[in-house]
Amino acid sequence: MVFDNKFGMFIHWGIYAQTGIQEQVYARFDWDRERYEALRETFNPVNYDPEKWVLLAKEAGMKYICFTAKHHDGFCMWNTKYTDYNVMNTPYGKDVLRMLADACERHGMLLGLYYSNPDWNHPLGYNPNSTHQWKAVDKETVDTVGYREYVKNQITELLTNYGKIYTLFWDIPPRIDDPSLNELARRLQPGILINDRGWDKGDFSTPEREYRAAEGERFTRMTEACNSLGRQSWGYRENEDFYSYRHLVSSIDRIMAMGGSYLLNVGPDGLGEITEEYASRLRRIGSWYNRMEGCLESAEGDSFDYSVRHDPCIVNRKNGKIYFHLYNSASSSAVDIKYFPHKPTRVRLLNTGEELAFSFERLPEFFNGKTGRAEQEYLHITGIPIDELSVEAVVIEIEIE
């Protein structure tokens, strides 16, 4: 099964960015309500330029942006008429989502929207069936029907007033089955893709942070994995514990070679900037991604047992070419493939664009334990500059007759 999978930018941004701590600082550090909600009185991101965000995403090879319209704190980053707890009632006073949607449209960037089901500001936001309810306004009153009307009203705004919306990312499953919410979304935005953290099973799965898969597994359902550049926070954090370049590139290559999309998160700061410590990491990852020349998108799985020796490998096909994804890099300067039923005409290392030498030959490392003889011919691909690529997922493209 082939999915129209993409590389995208997740953006967690809200009034919490001013703290430089974490997007759930309200709960994690148990701030009182008055202190936290006062953050809207100082939110003035004068350096916000969505054009820069969109161009950075494009530079990294990303095809879509998913923006946090409302996180668990209930603060709305658009001009909503259903609560005054929104960006229009800040010193900044502008509809930041409108500005981002316009920038996306100008540059051909798809736009997705994140919407939190928990709401720590709405009086009917408490849902005893769900999680992340720590800062609910009223834990005595349960009216999920009334709250769902509020959600429907806001989703109607979001899916009516901001152009074409690519995905709807519900967050924190409510554990209430109400297909009418996704039905509403599809009526308003025909063709929209909806994740599985909402009010029914939706269209796609959303593994978060680290996804463990069996060797050779391929997604059988549309899947969008998500991770952040930093380990401690999705929102902006000063002195963040950043993941290594190798860790993220390996994860992106593995997930996308399995047929999934990958949503990589950045957290703009309180002034509205994606700071250089975030942007430089994204550019470096994007440099690797762009060198893959699109082979990670809309590729077909290859179930043939090639028996690639030594290194974990996922194999897929696209446009008549075969791609070997050594997502944890290669352990030596050569790749040995035990069974290759075709005659290669060209072998290329996408990391550098260079052609690699190859031959079918017996190799002394692989021998028959009974006879002591090297009897099996392997496709032996050599010349990989492994020391220079030790922190990158290695991808080999093979053209065949």
Tell me, what's the pLDDT at 401?
87
**pLDDT at position 369 over 70:** yes
pLDDT interval class at 299 (50, 70, 90): very high
Tell me, what's the pLDDT at 2?
83
pLDDT above 90 as % of the chain: 97
**pLDDT at position 27 over 80:** yes
Tell me, what's the pLDDT at 212?
75
Can you give the length of the chain in residues?
401
**Residues 240-265, mean pLDDT to the nearest whole number:** 97
Convert the pLDDT of each residue in 331-354 to its tens digit: 999 999 999 999 999 999 999 999
pTM value is 0.96
Convert the pLDDT of each residue in 135-175 to its tens digit: 999 999 999 999 999 999 999 999 999 999 999 999 999 99
Distances (CA, A) of 324 to 100, 217, 262, 352, 353: 37, 14, 19, 15, 14
DSSP 38: G
**pLDDT at position 10 over 70:** yes
> What ranges do the domains of the chain cover?
7-291, 301-400
Task: Please state, in angstroms and rounded to a whole number, the distance separating the CA atoms of residues 81 and 146.
Answer: 17
**Residues 271-292, mean pLDDT to the nearest whole number:** 98
Question: For tokens 């409108």, what's the residue?
Answer: 98
**pLDDT at position 398 over 70:** yes
**pLDDT at position 214 over 70:** no
**Residues 192-196, mean pLDDT to the nearest whole number:** 98
**Residues 42-64, mean pLDDT to the nearest whole number:** 98
**pLDDT at position 128 over 80:** yes
- Domain 301-400: which topology? Immunoglobulin-like (2.60.40)
CATH homologous superfamily of 7-291: Glycosidases (3.20.20.80)
**Residues 393-397, mean pLDDT to the nearest whole number:** 98
Give the H/E segment covering residue 111: strand 110-116
The encoded tokens of residue 180 equal 């009418």
Who contacts 304 (Cβ-Cβ below 8 Å, separation ≥6)?
Answer: 315, 339, 341
> What does 302-345 look like in DSSP terms, one character per residue?
------B-SS--EEEEETTEEEEEETT--SSS-EEES---S-EE
pLDDT interval class at 215 (50, 70, 90): low
Distances (CA, A) of 89 to 78, 121, 153, 270, 350: 10, 15, 19, 16, 50
How confident is the prediction for the chain on average, in pLDDT? 97
Convert the pLDDT of each residue in 62-111 to its tens digit: 999 999 999 999 999 999 999 999 999 999 999 999 999 999 999 999 99
Tell me, what's the pLDDT at 211?
79
The encoded tokens of residue 302 equal 């290859």
The encoded tokens of residue 356 equal 């690699």
Side-chain half-sphere CA neighbours of 280 within 13 A = 5
Least confident of 29-43, 121-135, 208-222, 345-359: 208-222
Task: Please state, in angstroms and rounded to a whole number, the distance separating the CA atoms of residues 126 and 135.
Answer: 9
Instruction: Work out the widest C-alpha separation in the chain, in whole angstroms.
Output: 81
Tell me, what's the pLDDT at 216?
66
